Amino acid sequence: MLQKSRKDEMMKELDMATKDALSMVFVNFHGINVAEETILRRNLREGGITYKVFRKTLLRRVLKDKAGGTMPELPGEVALAYSKDALAPAREVYNFGKAHQGLLNILGGIFEGKFVDGAYMQELAMIPSREVLLSKIAFLLRSPMQRLAIAMKEVAKIKS
């Protein structure tokens, strides 16, 4: 049983996290062992993502007025991943769960000030990073120019 002072401290920490974070992901981590969780925490920390385990009652109490809509169901053990990057928490948790045979389940989260379900958060997680999108745009722009250069070269060969 947690002492009231510890609960108050956790609630203040959670309240500060909701003010700073652009998105939050509720994660069910049932079945993950200590070694895998250590790897998860290290990966998230390197990505600038905070990962904390909170009691569900404290989560509900603090978050009920912080976002619009209804809070998703939170079965099992629940952790919270949050960051100042809007897509990074969902992406990193999704990638870790995919790489480790589905040990983590995204239950939902808060995105753009609204509670969203797990399916929506997974869709957000599948959006490629900014660097990947920029490289795809560069490839799309390069392709027509490359084809034009090849066509010009072939025309030059025929006329010579």
CA atoms of 116 and 113, how far apart (whole Å): 9
- What would the pLDDT profile of 96-135 be if each residue is shown by its tens digit? 988 888 788 899 898 888 889 988 998 888 888 888 889 9
Q: Does domain 4-127 have CATH number 3.30.70.1730?
A: yes
pLDDT at 41: 92
- What would the pLDDT profile of 22-57 be if each residue is shown by its tens digit? 889 999 988 888 989 999 999 999 989 989 888 888
The pTM of this model reads: 0.76
* H-helix or E-strand spanning residue 149: helix 130-159
Burial class (CB in 10 A: 0-12, 13-18, 19+), 104: buried
The mean per-residue pLDDT over the stretch 6-16 comes to 83
CB under 8 Å to 33, separation ≥6 — which residues? none
pLDDT at 135: 92
- DSSP-derived letter for residue 8 is H
Compute the half-sphere exposure of residue 35: CA atoms within 13 Å on the CB side of its CA. 1
- What would the pLDDT profile of 58-86 be if each residue is shown by its tens digit? 888 888 877 888 888 888 889 999 988 88
**CA 25 to the chain's CA centroid:** 7
- DSSP-derived letter for residue 159 is H
Average predicted confidence (pLDDT) for the chain = 86
pLDDT at 42: 93
pLDDT of 87 over the 80 cut: yes
Compute the half-sphere exposure of residue 152: CA atoms within 13 Å on the CB side of its CA. 6
Q: Residue 1's pLDDT band (boundaries 50, 70, 90)?
A: low
Domain ranges of the chain: 4-127, 128-160
